[in-house]
Chain A
Amino acid sequence: MNASNIRIRGVGAVSSAGWSAAATHQAVLAGTPLPSSPCARPGDVRSWPCESRFAPASPPEKITRHPRLRRSSAITRYSVAAALEALADAGYDPAAPPPGLGILYIMMNGCVNYTGRFYHEVLENPAQASPLIFPETVFNAPASHVASFLGVDGAVSTLVGSPNSIMEALDTAAYWISSGIVEECLLIAGEECDWLSAEALTYYHPKLIASEGAGALLLSASGNGPRVSEIIGPLAYLSWQERCELLPELAAQTLARLQGPATLINDRTGITKLDHAEAAAWAGQPWTSVLSPKYVLGESMGASTALQLVLGTLTVRQTQQPVVLSIPGANTAAYACVLTP
């Protein structure tokens, strides 16, 4: 994989820390887990603890109006806000996005709020289930809404998978740009949290805290911004044990390509059982600093690697030093990448 010709010209984010990349960055730099609260279960009292960190309510200036957004759920609103911030960050007027823009969208769970609501209606009485909701359950609905909002009528694609699918999307964005399919590309990853996904995480580990949000990056072959100088991987695995065994190799390959001081942005949750292999793989390196977004923000699933990339971009801008992203994934492959000024 090679995206070294690509610059990250602009970034945007919505997370449990707030509706901007800066708010997310500040929270992660502070390093203290954000407050969580019990995730409400409709009509019932849960018999075990299940915490979540939702994104705060949208500030007035982030509320967008468009016919397509009237019914859209949280994941689309987060994605639009992150995309607009990324465009503005790159110096574009968000009201007049650049021509030749493409969109690659990444998600894991997708439009869970409407999916749960629609399926509940189907179980109750399918003859009265809402035809307005069903189209909003489709995985590519958020990408379609963002494209409609921005007037992007070219290449727009959605990938579903582990959060680190964004690395495959990055590879494809570099191809789209270099081959002239698009001039620039918005890479967006989003996720919305509901009681079902919050509960699902507790089955993986009782202390996992579900979160939500979106990260967006405007990629270009020209202009200023950090460069994705190295992508290491995919190192594919078929089990958690294989994943643990591969991570030292991932770290070794990455460190071999790194010169000088750097910041590490890892995937750690703060739960030793889940983190130990990653922690061991990257230990012993004199990092300038180590950031753990998931520990602070919560598990935002499909959005999490995008948030790492957003934070990496801001860190490179701030430190003018390389940033290493550790992206071990959960069930398919591990990646790492190096961002440089």
Chain B
Amino acid sequence: MGRLANEQSLAADRTAFKPVELFDTSQLIAKTAGVVDLPTENLFHRIPLHKQTYIDRGTRMLLIAIREALAQAGRQNMEGIDAIVIGSSAGAMPLGEAYFEHAHQDAGRVPSQLSRAEHYQPQRQMTSVATEFDWRGPIIIVSNACASGANAIGWGADMIRSGRAKRVLAGGYDALARLVFAGFDTLHALAPSGIPRPFDAQRDGLALGEGAGVMLLEAEDVRQSPVLGYVSGYSTATDLHHLTQPDPAGKAAIRTMTAACAQSGITPAQIGYINSHGTGTPFNDAAEAAAIAAWAGDAVAGIPVSSTKSAMGHLLGGAGAVEAVICLMALQGQWLPASLNVREPDPAVRFDLVRHFRRASLDYALTNSFGFGGTNATLVLQRRSA
């Protein structure tokens, strides 16, 4: 929980996987995930206690991340923030699951179904967050599967770049949900061992995780907070190959990496670190490795790449946001997080696969996010003093 704890964990090459106890996994292949230990105390001070039952686990994580981002920016509140742009793939799915279960078990009118139906809607969850800060403004929820968080940050940066906003709170979140966990399990996308090995030659799947990441984006001309870094490039494109499988050559990823670097005004050789999408599934990692090699050309061998999903799992709608925050932390701290659990790198790996945490000198970091439906997103983060 929090930036410091995450940095310490990444520096120690620690993984966060443990048995899932939020729902029954006994009949599933995978039984572990990167589970967040949420604090037990009441997080929402302005929401009546009887309504707090309907605040989703993911929303709680998001509130914690927002509070941390605001505190880091020296803020107590959200005054002057023009918009919230948040990515989520599953939203408040557990509320929808509960609604379904009650409706399915009882043909009569069931108490509290209105609250479940209402709070299943992610915008209603976000209204609870806004209430906590007594903030009123546009709430935009981007849902492009596993690219949602990266798209949300890119969307927010675009709002500022185009002059449509001066300050945007942008990020993403997702919590573990039974339907989603079972869904990945049925696809045989989850590693049976529970250990994801992105870019390992014998990798056998991903591990799910949960979490939230948020950035306060400010236009330079109204900036009040210390600069942690810059969102210097963003691009999104669509891979039409298949609903769930990437184009083997990673053509859409090549386009987003190229366009994001062009917006940043840099070449691939200037990228000091890539936080890959790196799920640990056979298809994704091969396609992404091919895309990075094609995009970077002769520079590929000198570009450090890792997947932090190997440590904390795939955060789905939260992944792109948390991984962008990790890039920002890496730029600030001048270090590289590792791809853990790799025994023998895949032959497709031509980049510098970071297998242990290490110190480095870097000015730009790039993060890839690819989602079901073919959404590809790339963000380029720039160090403050670069």
Contacts and interface: CB of A to CB of B under 8 A. Distances in A.
A47 B108 CA distance: 5
A134 B183 contact: yes
Interface stretch (A12-20, A158-166, A184-192, A215-223): A158-166
B227 interface: no
Interface in B89-142: 89, 91, 96-97, 99-101, 103-104, 107-109, 113-114, 117-118, 121-124, 126-127, 130-131, 134, 136-142
Interface stretch (B64-72, B239-247, B277-285): B239-247
Nearest to A178: B162
Given A131-B188, A161-B123, A140 B107 contact: no
Contacts of A131: 183, 186-188
Given A153-B252, A172-B155, A119 B27 contact: no
A130 interface: yes
A173 to B, nearest CB: 12
B189 to A, nearest CB: 9
B240 A153 contact: yes
A160 B136 contact: no
B236 interface: yes
Contacts of B114: 200, 203-204
A160 to B, nearest CB: 4
B182 interface: yes
Given A144-B238, A165-B140, A130 B186 contact: yes
Which of A46, A129, A135, A171 has the largest count of B CB atoms less than 10 A from its CB? A135
Interface residues of A, number: 66
B143 A139 contact: yes
Interface stretch (B55-63, B192-200, B341-349, B371-379): B371-379
A141 B122 CA distance: 17
B27 A160 contact: no
B308 interface: no
B85 to A, nearest CB: 9
Contacts of B100: 116, 119-120, 196
Given A129-B186, A236-B138, A156 B96 contact: no
B143 A160 contact: yes
Contacts of B136: 236-238, 333
Given A138-B373, A143-B373, A236-B137, A158 B243 contact: no
Contacts of B164: 1, 171, 175
A333 B139 contact: yes
A153 B141 contact: no
B236 A155 contact: yes
Contacts of A130: 186
Interface in B363-386: 371-375
B360 interface: no
B8 to A, nearest CB: 34
B237 interface: yes
Interface string A30-42: 0000000000010
Contacts of B373: 138, 140-141, 143-144
A332 interface: yes
Contacts of A234: 137-138
Given A131-B188, A179-B162, A157 B124 contact: no
Contact of A118 (B126, B127, B159, B183): B183
B306 interface: no
B210 interface: no
B359 interface: no
A160 B138 CA distance: 13
A130 B130 CA distance: 38
Nearest to A149: B240
Contacts of B99: 196, 200
B178 interface: yes
Interface string A121-158: 01101110111001111111101110110011111111
B101 A123 contact: yes
A115 interface: yes
Contacts of B179: 115, 118-119, 122, 137
Contacts of A161: 121-123, 139-141
A199 B371 CA distance: 32
A108 interface: yes
A68 interface: yes
B145 interface: yes
Given A126-B28, A144-B372, A333 B138 contact: yes
A193 B158 CA distance: 34
Contacts of A134: 182-184, 186-187
A45 interface: yes
Interface in B214-252: 236-240, 243-244, 252
B148 to A, nearest CB: 8
A291 B130 CA distance: 33
B107 A137 contact: no
Given A127-B28, A131-B183, 17 more contacts: A41-B107, A44-B107, A118-B183, A119-B178, A126-B182, A129-B182, A135-B243, A137-B183, A144-B243, A162-B123, A165-B140, A175-B159, A175-B162, A175-B164, A331-B118, A331-B124, A332-B127
Interface of A: 1, 41, 44-48, 68, 108, 115-116, 118-120, 122-123, 125-127, 129-131, 134-141, 143-145, 147-148, 151-162, 165, 168, 171-172, 175, 178-179, 196, 199-200, 203-204, 234, 236-238, 331-333
Interface of B: 27-28, 88-89, 91, 96-97, 99-101, 103-104, 107-109, 113-114, 117-118, 121-124, 126-127, 130-131, 134, 136-145, 151, 155, 158-159, 162, 164, 178-179, 182-188, 236-240, 243-244, 252, 371-375
29 contacts: A1-B164, A115-B96, A119-B100, A123-B104, A129-B183, A134-B183, A136-B243, A140-B145, A140-B372, A141-B372, A145-B243, A148-B374, A152-B238, A153-B238, A157-B375, A175-B162, A179-B162, A196-B100, A200-B114, A203-B117, A234-B137, A236-B139, A238-B134, A331-B123, A332-B139, A333-B136, A333-B137, A333-B138, A333-B139
